[in-house]
Structure 1
């Protein structure tokens, strides 16, 4: 039964071009994060692997505070207080509209700090 389900999942991933879509959206997301970095100076570094992205914040910004602000705006991400970074693990089906909304909210928060 497990193999049947796994094969169906792989079939859907292939049929709906989710890997290619994820790669395109990952690049789009990183471009948006780079623009936020340029405009705010809040982001020291962006690390990525596919749709997994990590933003290392400048020491004047607090990851926990940004996490809580984004959560209040309806975005759930990860963070590390120790390393002062934000984790973004977006699904393969994410849209540019959803990325734009997240990035707009993130930039708004960073500018207000």
Structure 2
């Protein structure tokens, strides 16, 4: 088994952290998390895709410490990891903006 971890840096305030376990080409587990730096709050996780609880899902973090969990429609964890990375890369600015709005409330 091999652990792979790396960061994809959008800019100095927004990072996609990726970590997954591989065994013979199969993804056994993964985490893909958008972390954003906010002026008054420091670094915070905003969106996280992972395989905790035995299924691939997205956790939408909210400022009131609640997390919304949504199962993602994938056949396997490799597909889920790719889905997560593609979604965060395509939508990170929207996810950040939405979280900033929640911080204002």
TM-score bracket, normalised by the shorter chain, equals 0.3 to 0.5
Greater helix share, 1 or 2?
Answer: 1
Q: Which has more radius of gyration? A: 1
Greater strand share, 1 or 2?
Answer: 2
Q: Which has the higher contact order (CA 8 A, sep 6+)?
A: 1
